[in-house]
A and B are shown apart, each in its own frame.
Chain A
Amino acid sequence: MNENLFASFITPTIVGIPIVILIIAIPSILFPSPTRLITSRLTSLQQWLIQLVLKQLMMMHSIKGRTWSLMLISLILFIGSTNLLGLLPHSFTPTTQLSMNLGMAIPLWAAAVITGFRHKTKMSLAHLLPQGTPVPLIPMLVIIETISLFIQPMALAVRLTANITAGHLLMHLIGGATLVLTSISPATASITFIILILLTILEFAVALIQAYVFTLLVSLYLHDNT
Protein backbone atom coordinates (compact mmCIF):
# COMPACT_ATOMS: atom_id res chain seq x y z
CA MET A 1 0.00 0.00 0.00
CA ASN A 2 2.79 2.41 0.85
CA GLU A 3 4.57 2.10 -2.45
CA ASN A 4 1.35 1.99 -4.42
CA LEU A 5 -0.09 5.14 -2.96
CA PHE A 6 2.44 7.44 -4.57
CA ALA A 7 3.05 5.32 -7.64
CA SER A 8 0.54 7.29 -9.68
CA PHE A 9 2.57 10.45 -9.18
CA ILE A 10 5.76 9.12 -10.79
CA THR A 11 6.43 10.75 -14.14
CA PRO A 12 5.76 8.05 -16.73
CA THR A 13 8.67 6.81 -18.80
CA ILE A 14 9.00 3.98 -21.30
CA VAL A 15 12.51 2.45 -21.07
CA GLY A 16 13.82 5.83 -20.05
CA ILE A 17 12.08 7.97 -22.66
CA PRO A 18 9.90 10.47 -20.85
CA ILE A 19 6.39 10.20 -22.26
CA VAL A 20 5.31 12.88 -19.86
CA ILE A 21 5.94 15.36 -22.68
CA LEU A 22 3.37 13.51 -24.78
CA ILE A 23 0.92 13.47 -21.89
CA ILE A 24 1.27 17.21 -21.38
CA ALA A 25 0.51 17.75 -25.07
CA ILE A 26 -2.62 15.56 -25.07
CA PRO A 27 -5.19 18.14 -23.82
CA SER A 28 -4.52 20.22 -26.91
CA ILE A 29 -6.16 17.50 -29.03
CA LEU A 30 -9.45 18.25 -27.34
CA PHE A 31 -9.43 21.89 -28.43
CA PRO A 32 -9.61 21.97 -32.22
CA SER A 33 -8.89 25.30 -33.82
CA PRO A 34 -11.68 26.65 -36.01
CA THR A 35 -10.94 26.64 -39.73
CA ARG A 36 -14.32 27.83 -40.98
CA LEU A 37 -16.83 30.48 -40.04
CA ILE A 38 -19.54 28.01 -39.04
CA THR A 39 -17.76 25.31 -37.08
CA SER A 40 -18.64 21.95 -35.62
CA ARG A 41 -20.59 21.63 -32.38
CA LEU A 42 -17.51 21.05 -30.29
CA THR A 43 -15.69 24.05 -31.65
CA SER A 44 -18.69 26.36 -31.35
CA LEU A 45 -19.25 25.24 -27.76
CA GLN A 46 -15.65 25.97 -26.94
CA GLN A 47 -15.74 29.35 -28.66
CA TRP A 48 -18.80 30.35 -26.64
CA LEU A 49 -17.22 29.21 -23.37
CA ILE A 50 -13.98 31.01 -24.14
CA GLN A 51 -15.77 34.25 -24.93
CA LEU A 52 -17.73 34.04 -21.69
CA VAL A 53 -14.64 33.45 -19.59
CA LEU A 54 -12.57 36.01 -21.44
CA LYS A 55 -15.08 38.78 -20.89
CA GLN A 56 -15.20 38.12 -17.15
CA LEU A 57 -11.47 37.85 -16.88
CA MET A 58 -10.40 40.87 -18.89
CA MET A 59 -13.08 43.36 -17.93
CA MET A 60 -11.10 45.01 -15.18
CA HIS A 61 -7.85 45.53 -17.03
CA SER A 62 -6.59 48.56 -18.89
CA ILE A 63 -5.59 48.46 -22.55
CA LYS A 64 -2.08 47.49 -21.62
CA GLY A 65 -3.26 44.71 -19.37
CA ARG A 66 -5.49 43.30 -22.08
CA THR A 67 -2.48 42.39 -24.20
CA TRP A 68 -2.17 39.48 -21.79
CA SER A 69 -5.57 38.03 -22.69
CA LEU A 70 -4.19 35.25 -24.91
CA MET A 71 -1.77 34.20 -22.19
CA LEU A 72 -4.38 34.15 -19.43
CA ILE A 73 -7.05 32.37 -21.41
CA SER A 74 -4.66 29.67 -22.56
CA LEU A 75 -3.48 29.33 -18.96
CA ILE A 76 -6.94 28.74 -17.60
CA LEU A 77 -7.77 26.32 -20.44
CA PHE A 78 -4.58 24.37 -19.92
CA ILE A 79 -4.88 24.03 -16.15
CA GLY A 80 -8.60 23.26 -16.32
CA SER A 81 -8.29 20.60 -18.98
CA THR A 82 -5.21 19.01 -17.42
CA ASN A 83 -6.90 18.78 -14.03
CA LEU A 84 -10.10 17.36 -15.49
CA LEU A 85 -8.23 14.77 -17.55
CA GLY A 86 -6.41 13.73 -14.38
CA LEU A 87 -9.71 12.59 -12.91
CA LEU A 88 -9.94 9.75 -15.43
CA PRO A 89 -8.86 6.38 -14.01
CA HIS A 90 -5.16 5.58 -14.17
CA SER A 91 -4.21 8.88 -15.75
CA PHE A 92 -1.25 11.03 -14.85
CA THR A 93 -1.84 14.66 -13.95
CA PRO A 94 1.10 16.90 -14.84
CA THR A 95 -0.09 19.62 -12.45
CA THR A 96 0.71 17.38 -9.48
CA GLN A 97 4.38 17.96 -10.19
CA LEU A 98 5.72 21.00 -8.36
CA SER A 99 8.31 21.50 -11.06
CA MET A 100 5.69 22.20 -13.67
CA ASN A 101 3.65 24.54 -11.49
CA LEU A 102 6.75 26.49 -10.55
CA GLY A 103 7.58 26.70 -14.24
CA MET A 104 4.17 28.25 -14.84
CA ALA A 105 3.99 30.52 -11.80
CA ILE A 106 7.45 32.09 -11.62
CA PRO A 107 7.69 33.46 -15.20
CA LEU A 108 4.16 34.86 -15.11
CA TRP A 109 4.58 36.55 -11.74
CA ALA A 110 8.03 37.85 -12.68
CA ALA A 111 6.69 39.25 -15.94
CA ALA A 112 3.89 41.09 -14.14
CA VAL A 113 6.21 42.56 -11.52
CA ILE A 114 8.92 43.56 -13.98
CA THR A 115 6.33 45.20 -16.25
CA GLY A 116 5.16 47.20 -13.28
CA PHE A 117 8.65 48.27 -12.33
CA ARG A 118 9.60 49.25 -15.85
CA HIS A 119 6.59 51.31 -16.81
CA LYS A 120 5.23 52.63 -13.54
CA THR A 121 8.12 52.50 -11.10
CA LYS A 122 6.65 54.89 -8.56
CA MET A 123 3.30 53.14 -8.47
CA SER A 124 4.72 49.64 -8.08
CA LEU A 125 6.97 50.78 -5.29
CA ALA A 126 3.99 52.51 -3.71
CA HIS A 127 2.15 49.19 -3.62
CA LEU A 128 4.63 48.08 -1.00
CA LEU A 129 2.93 50.28 1.60
CA PRO A 130 -0.82 49.99 2.32
CA GLN A 131 -2.75 53.24 2.62
CA GLY A 132 -3.22 54.84 5.97
CA THR A 133 -0.55 53.15 8.04
CA PRO A 134 0.72 54.95 11.13
CA VAL A 135 4.13 56.54 10.49
CA PRO A 136 6.17 54.58 13.08
CA LEU A 137 5.07 51.28 11.55
CA ILE A 138 6.26 52.12 8.04
CA PRO A 139 9.69 50.38 7.93
CA MET A 140 8.36 47.13 9.32
CA LEU A 141 5.40 47.15 7.01
CA VAL A 142 7.57 47.71 3.94
CA ILE A 143 9.62 44.68 4.89
CA ILE A 144 6.51 42.60 5.41
CA GLU A 145 5.01 43.67 2.10
CA THR A 146 8.25 42.87 0.26
CA ILE A 147 8.31 39.40 1.76
CA SER A 148 4.69 38.86 0.79
CA LEU A 149 5.52 40.00 -2.74
CA PHE A 150 8.27 37.44 -3.07
CA ILE A 151 6.14 34.68 -1.64
CA GLN A 152 3.47 35.15 -4.33
CA PRO A 153 4.97 32.80 -7.00
CA MET A 154 5.73 30.12 -4.42
CA ALA A 155 2.20 30.34 -3.08
CA LEU A 156 0.74 30.09 -6.58
CA ALA A 157 2.68 26.96 -7.44
CA VAL A 158 2.35 25.21 -4.11
CA ARG A 159 -1.38 25.97 -3.87
CA LEU A 160 -2.09 24.24 -7.16
CA THR A 161 0.20 21.29 -6.49
CA ALA A 162 -1.06 20.67 -2.99
CA ASN A 163 -4.73 20.91 -3.84
CA ILE A 164 -4.63 18.53 -6.77
CA THR A 165 -2.25 16.07 -5.11
CA ALA A 166 -4.27 16.01 -1.90
CA GLY A 167 -7.49 15.37 -3.79
CA HIS A 168 -6.02 12.49 -5.76
CA LEU A 169 -4.47 10.95 -2.66
CA LEU A 170 -7.73 11.15 -0.73
CA MET A 171 -9.57 9.44 -3.55
CA HIS A 172 -6.99 6.63 -3.66
CA LEU A 173 -7.16 6.16 0.10
CA ILE A 174 -10.93 6.20 0.41
CA GLY A 175 -11.31 3.93 -2.61
CA GLY A 176 -8.88 1.46 -1.10
CA ALA A 177 -10.69 1.64 2.21
CA THR A 178 -14.03 0.92 0.52
CA LEU A 179 -12.59 -2.14 -1.19
CA VAL A 180 -11.20 -3.57 2.00
CA LEU A 181 -14.35 -2.82 4.01
CA THR A 182 -16.73 -4.69 1.68
CA SER A 183 -15.58 -8.03 3.06
CA ILE A 184 -15.67 -6.86 6.68
CA SER A 185 -18.90 -4.87 6.98
CA PRO A 186 -20.94 -3.83 3.91
CA ALA A 187 -22.73 -1.04 5.77
CA THR A 188 -19.52 0.84 6.50
CA ALA A 189 -18.43 0.15 2.95
CA SER A 190 -21.54 1.80 1.56
CA ILE A 191 -20.98 4.86 3.74
CA THR A 192 -17.42 5.04 2.53
CA PHE A 193 -18.65 4.68 -1.03
CA ILE A 194 -20.99 7.63 -0.59
CA ILE A 195 -18.06 9.63 0.75
CA LEU A 196 -16.13 8.64 -2.36
CA ILE A 197 -18.92 9.87 -4.63
CA LEU A 198 -19.06 13.20 -2.83
CA LEU A 199 -15.31 13.49 -3.02
CA THR A 200 -15.38 12.89 -6.77
CA ILE A 201 -17.90 15.68 -7.22
CA LEU A 202 -15.66 17.90 -5.14
CA GLU A 203 -12.70 16.95 -7.27
CA PHE A 204 -14.46 18.03 -10.42
CA ALA A 205 -15.18 21.36 -8.83
CA VAL A 206 -11.65 21.68 -7.48
CA ALA A 207 -10.16 20.99 -10.88
CA LEU A 208 -11.97 23.92 -12.38
CA ILE A 209 -11.69 26.18 -9.38
CA GLN A 210 -7.95 25.78 -9.10
CA ALA A 211 -7.54 26.78 -12.71
CA TYR A 212 -9.70 29.80 -12.11
CA VAL A 213 -7.88 30.83 -8.96
CA PHE A 214 -4.47 30.55 -10.57
CA THR A 215 -5.48 32.65 -13.50
CA LEU A 216 -7.34 35.15 -11.36
CA LEU A 217 -4.35 35.74 -9.17
CA VAL A 218 -2.04 36.22 -12.10
CA SER A 219 -4.46 38.73 -13.54
CA LEU A 220 -4.60 40.45 -10.18
CA TYR A 221 -0.85 40.79 -10.10
CA LEU A 222 -1.10 42.14 -13.61
CA HIS A 223 -3.71 44.67 -12.63
CA ASP A 224 -1.54 45.93 -9.85
CA ASN A 225 1.29 46.50 -12.21
CA THR A 226 -0.27 48.05 -15.32
Chain B
Amino acid sequence: MASVVPVKEKKLMDVKLGELPSWILMRDFTPKGIAGAFQRGYYRYYNKYINVKKGSVTGVTMLLAAYVLFNYCLSYKELKHERRRKYH
Protein backbone atom coordinates (compact mmCIF):
# COMPACT_ATOMS: atom_id res chain seq x y z
CA MET B 1 0.00 0.00 0.00
CA ALA B 2 2.21 2.78 -1.26
CA SER B 3 1.30 6.36 -0.35
CA VAL B 4 2.30 9.65 -1.89
CA VAL B 5 3.89 11.26 1.21
CA PRO B 6 6.79 9.23 2.71
CA VAL B 7 5.88 7.36 5.92
CA LYS B 8 8.60 9.07 7.90
CA GLU B 9 6.91 12.43 8.12
CA LYS B 10 3.34 11.52 8.91
CA LYS B 11 1.63 11.94 12.24
CA LEU B 12 0.22 8.86 13.90
CA MET B 13 -3.36 9.50 12.95
CA ASP B 14 -2.47 9.74 9.25
CA VAL B 15 -0.47 6.52 9.06
CA LYS B 16 -2.33 3.69 7.37
CA LEU B 17 -2.65 0.42 9.28
CA GLY B 18 -0.36 -1.54 6.98
CA GLU B 19 2.42 1.00 7.41
CA LEU B 20 2.27 0.93 11.20
CA PRO B 21 5.25 -1.42 11.82
CA SER B 22 7.55 0.63 9.62
CA TRP B 23 6.35 3.83 11.29
CA ILE B 24 7.07 2.44 14.75
CA LEU B 25 10.50 1.20 13.68
CA MET B 26 11.56 4.55 12.31
CA ARG B 27 10.99 6.36 15.66
CA ASP B 28 14.05 7.65 17.46
CA PHE B 29 15.03 5.13 20.17
CA THR B 30 18.31 6.70 21.21
CA PRO B 31 18.47 7.92 24.84
CA LYS B 32 18.18 11.48 23.62
CA GLY B 33 15.10 10.54 21.64
CA ILE B 34 13.48 8.80 24.60
CA ALA B 35 14.25 11.75 26.86
CA GLY B 36 12.71 14.01 24.24
CA ALA B 37 9.60 11.86 24.17
CA PHE B 38 9.22 12.08 27.96
CA GLN B 39 9.74 15.82 27.85
CA ARG B 40 7.14 16.27 25.13
CA GLY B 41 4.63 14.11 26.98
CA TYR B 42 5.21 15.97 30.24
CA TYR B 43 4.75 19.38 28.66
CA ARG B 44 1.68 18.26 26.81
CA TYR B 45 0.02 17.26 30.10
CA TYR B 46 1.36 20.25 31.96
CA ASN B 47 0.20 22.82 29.43
CA LYS B 48 -3.20 21.29 29.07
CA TYR B 49 -4.13 20.83 32.72
CA ILE B 50 -1.86 22.75 35.03
CA ASN B 51 -0.36 25.74 33.28
CA VAL B 52 -3.75 27.36 32.62
CA LYS B 53 -5.00 30.53 34.22
CA LYS B 54 -7.94 28.93 36.00
CA GLY B 55 -6.65 25.43 36.58
CA SER B 56 -8.63 23.27 38.94
CA VAL B 57 -7.80 20.49 41.34
CA THR B 58 -8.33 17.77 38.71
CA GLY B 59 -4.98 18.48 37.08
CA VAL B 60 -3.05 17.51 40.20
CA THR B 61 -5.51 14.79 41.24
CA MET B 62 -4.95 12.89 38.00
CA LEU B 63 -1.22 12.95 38.64
CA LEU B 64 -1.70 11.65 42.19
CA ALA B 65 -4.04 8.90 40.98
CA ALA B 66 -1.43 7.81 38.44
CA TYR B 67 1.14 7.79 41.25
CA VAL B 68 -1.07 5.55 43.39
CA LEU B 69 -1.56 3.16 40.46
CA PHE B 70 2.17 3.10 39.82
CA ASN B 71 2.89 2.18 43.44
CA TYR B 72 0.15 -0.45 43.40
CA CYS B 73 1.81 -2.10 40.40
CA LEU B 74 5.14 -2.02 42.16
CA SER B 75 3.86 -3.65 45.34
CA TYR B 76 1.53 -6.12 43.64
CA LYS B 77 3.84 -8.98 44.44
CA GLU B 78 3.41 -8.54 48.19
CA LEU B 79 -0.25 -7.65 47.95
CA LYS B 80 -1.03 -10.88 46.08
CA HIS B 81 -0.88 -12.79 49.34
CA GLU B 82 -3.61 -10.73 50.97
CA ARG B 83 -6.47 -11.81 48.76
CA ARG B 84 -9.37 -13.68 50.31
CA ARG B 85 -8.84 -17.02 48.66
CA LYS B 86 -8.60 -20.51 50.03
CA TYR B 87 -5.48 -21.37 48.06
CA HIS B 88 -2.95 -18.62 47.38
Q: Which residues of A contact B (CB under 8 A)?
A: 4, 7-8, 12, 14, 19, 26, 29-30, 32, 38, 40-43, 85, 88-92
Contacts and interface: CB of A to CB of B under 8 A. Distances in A.
Given A8-B75, A12-B74, A30-B63, A41 B55 contact: yes
25 contacts: A4-B81, A7-B75, A8-B75, A12-B74, A14-B74, A30-B60, A30-B63, A32-B46, A38-B53, A40-B50, A40-B51, A40-B52, A40-B53, A41-B53, A41-B54, A85-B67, A88-B71, A89-B71, A90-B72, A90-B74, A90-B79, A91-B67, A91-B68, A92-B71, A92-B74
Interface in B59-79: 59-60, 63-64, 67-68, 71-72, 74-75, 78-79
A78 to B, nearest CB: 16
A17 B62 CA distance: 26
Interface residues of B, number: 22
Residue of B51, B53, B60 ringed by the most chain A CB atoms within 10 A: B51
Contacts of A40: 50-53, 55
A32 B74 contact: no
Interface of B: 46, 50-56, 59-60, 63-64, 67-68, 71-72, 74-75, 78-79, 81-82
